[in-house]
């Protein structure tokens, strides 16, 4: 048979391509549910790692089903907010139909255009609420993203988790690999008084006592700058929501933090006050 004539060649290539396409589509359809479950479980385990309910190492040992179950057991509510911090939509949290807003790249664009639809995941840990929000941005080589967990009043960070697609191992990849980097976010605050740059990752070490700055990683300047920009962009987008929550908390606490009446107030309230006093004390110490 003459395999070189035109008709044969065209028919042959067409058949090959169609067969290949058919095989690939069947494979893709068959594997899709599993792949999506993987992605969902990965996103959820990053959130849970940030919230401190479980560690990433422990989560990695669990199967997808267990991670999804863990999520729906611990979540209180999940919803979307608009740019003014108003709730626009609820996200499903039932284990069989968990909804996530995980297209962070899209939202990153929407933040810039002013029409974001940002997710807030409210977990419950030891009776207290934990608000987890995402962030997303460009690292040195590819996208970097993460989840930041706030306390119930959104005035203190209680945990963070970061991931990346292709940062340099041993340098930029440390934002994910090095526990100390994540740990230093604990207890930090978003600086509501500085709306242009509410948070900072500082090269060469954050100034001591500054509650909204953390240390950058030596040798990973570009990745840290990227993360710094990502955090600031997203914190700014969430600012209305966060400050509303924090503002509400201050109002309800105001009773006990003014003057000496503090001691006579309820226990839960007193705790808050002690904490704030401690901070003030630290500040004085710094200045002195």
Partner 1 sequence: MNEDLKKTLLNPIFKGNPITVLVLGICSSLAVTVQLKGACVMALSVIIVCGLSSFIVSLLRNSIPNRVRIIVQLVVVAMMVILVDQVLKAYAYSVDKQLSVYIGLIITNCIVMGRIEAFALGNKPVPSLLDGLANGAGYGLILIIVAFFRELLGSGTLFGFRVLPASYVPNNLVILPPMALIILGCIVWVQRSIQKDLQEK
Partner 2 sequence: MAKNFFDKIRPTFSEGGKLSWLHSSFDAFETFFFVPNRTTRKGGTHVKDCVDLKRLLIIVIMALVPALLFGIWNLGFQHSKVFGLGWGFWQMVWYGFVKIIPLYLVSYIVGLGIEFASAQMKGHEVSEGYLVSGFIIPLIVPVDVPWWMLAIAVAFAVIIGKEVFGGTGMNIWNPALLARAFLFFSYPSKMSGDAVWVGGLSKALAGGTPWKGGEVVDALSGATPLSHASLDGLSAAGTSAWNLFLGDIPGAVGETSVIAILIGALILICTGVASWKIMFSSVVGALFVGWLGNVGGVTDIPCWEQLLMGGFAFGTVFMATDPVTSAQTECGKWIYGFLIGALCITVRLFNPGYPEGMMLAILLLNTFAPLIDHYVVSANVNRRLKRAKTV
Alpha-carbon gap, residue 38 to 257, rounded angstroms:
47
Q: How far is the CB of 171 from partner 2 (least distance, A)?
A: 8
Is 201 or 256 the residue whose CB approaches partner 2 more closely? 201
Of the candidate residues 37, 211, 222, 250, the single one contacting partner 2 (CB under 8 A):
222
Residue 212 tokens read as: 């909204």
Q: How far is the CB of 163 from partner 1 (least distance, A)?
A: 9
Is 24 or 248 the residue whose CB approaches partner 1 more closely? 24
Alpha-carbon gap, residue 75 to 119, rounded angstroms:
13
Q: How far is the CB of 43 from partner 1 (least distance, A)?
A: 11
Residue 39 lies near partner 1 (rule: CB under 8 A)? yes
Q: How far is the CB of 275 from partner 1 (least distance, A)?
A: 35
Residue 35 binds which entry of partner 2, partner 1, none, with Cβ cut-offs from 5 to 8 Å by kind?
Answer: partner 1
Residue 39 binds which entry of partner 1, partner 2, none, with Cβ cut-offs from 5 to 8 Å by kind?
Answer: partner 1
Is 63 or 219 the residue whose CB approaches partner 2 more closely? 219
What DSSP line would sit under the chain, residue for residue? --TTSHHHHHHHHHHHHHHHHHHHHHHHHHHHHHHHHHHHHHHHHHHHHHHTSS-HHHHHHS-HHHHHHHHHHHEEEEEEE-TTS-EEEE----GGG------HHHHHHHHHHT---EEEEEEEETTEEEEEEEEEEE-SSSEEEEEEEE-TTSSSEEEEEEEESSPPTTTTTHHHH-HHHHHTTTT----TT-TT---EEETT-PPTT-TTEEEPPTT-HHHHHHHHHHHHHHHHHHHHHHHHHHHHHHHHHHHHHSGGGGGGS-HHHHHHHHHHHHHHHHHHHHH-
Of the candidate residues 33, 114, 169, 204, the single one contacting partner 2 (CB under 8 A):
204
With contacts defined by CB under 8 A, name the span among 28-36, 95-103, 106-114, 219-227 that binds partner 2.
219-227
Residue 110 lies near partner 2 (rule: CB under 8 A)? no
With contacts defined by CB under 8 A, name the span among 1-9, 114-122, 131-139, 181-189 that binds partner 1.
1-9
Residue 13 lies near partner 1 (rule: CB under 8 A)? yes
Residues forming contacts to partner 1 in the complex (CB under 8 A) are 3-4, 8-9, 12-13, 16-17, 20, 23-24, 27-28, 31, 34-35, 38-39, 42, 60, 165-166, 168-171, 219
Residues forming contacts to partner 2 in the complex (CB under 8 A) are 171, 203-204, 218-219, 221-222
């Amino acid at each position: 048979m003459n395999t070189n004539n035109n008709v044969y060649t065209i028919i042959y290539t067409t058949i090959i391509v169609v067969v290949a396409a058919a095989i690939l589509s069947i494979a893709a359809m068959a594997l899709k549910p599993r792949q999506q479950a993987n992605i969902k479980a990965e996103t959820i385990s990053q959130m849970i790692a940030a919230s401190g309910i479980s560690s990433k190492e422990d989560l990695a040992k669990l199967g997808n089903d267990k991670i999804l179950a863990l999520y729906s057991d611990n979540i209180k509510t999940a919803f979307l907010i608009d740019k003014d911090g108003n709730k626009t939509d609820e996200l499903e949290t039932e284990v069989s139909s968990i909804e996530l807003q995980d297209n962070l790249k899209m939202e990153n664009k929407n933040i810039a255009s002013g029409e974001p639809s940002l997710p807030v995941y409210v977990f419950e840990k030891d009776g207290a609420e934990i608000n987890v929000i995402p962030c997303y941005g460009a690292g040195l080589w590819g996208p970097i993203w993460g989840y930041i967990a706030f306390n119930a009043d959104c005035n203190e960070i209680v945990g963070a988790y970061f991931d990346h697609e292709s940062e340099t191992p041993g340098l930029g990849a440390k934002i994910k690999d090095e526990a100390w980097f994540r740990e230093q976010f604990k207890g930090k605050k978003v600086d509501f008084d500085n709306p242009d740059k509410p948070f900072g990752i500082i090269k060469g070490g954050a100034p001591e006592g500054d509650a909204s700055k953390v240390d950058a990683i030596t040798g990973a300047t570009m990745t840290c700058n990227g993360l710094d920009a990502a955090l600031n962009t997203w914190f700014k987008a969430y600012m209305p929501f966060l400050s509303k929550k924090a503002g509400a908390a201050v109002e309800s606490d105001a009773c006990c933090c003014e003057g000496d009446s503090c001691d006579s107030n309820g226990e839960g309230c007193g705790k808050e006050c002690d904490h704030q006093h401690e901070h003030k004390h630290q500040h004085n110490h710094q200045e002195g």
